[in-house]
Amino acid sequence: MKTNLETSLQIADKLDLPDATLARLSGTSKAALCRYRNGMRRCPLATERRIHDAVIQLERLLKIVSPCPVDLSKPTKLLIALEQFAEDGRI
């Protein structure tokens, strides 16, 4: 059975989401994310939840703005877009 983390990382891979961006969006370090991804360290449940939420929110945002391209290497701009979308449903 897959964990939320495994599922979230598969979705992130499908979206071509860089690890650095996922780490920033989920509030974890890139080094920690790499350790979780490689199975070198167990991911705490709270962190797993933040990663999952970040991936799901981003996936939802990308579906809404499709077919417009989105630069996934700009986590600060993505955070702003996600926050505004969460507040009032606008981008």
Q: Which residues contact 73 (CB under 8 A, 6 or more apart)?
A: 18, 20, 21
- Residue 91 scores a pLDDT above 70: no
Q: What is the pLDDT of residues 37-90, one digit of tens each?
A: 999 999 999 999 999 999 999 999 999 888 999 999 999 999 998 988 888 776
Q: What does the alpha-carbon distance between residue 91 and residue 11 come to, in Å, rounded to a whole number?
A: 22
What mean pLDDT value characterizes the chain?
91
- Residue 8 scores a pLDDT above 80: yes
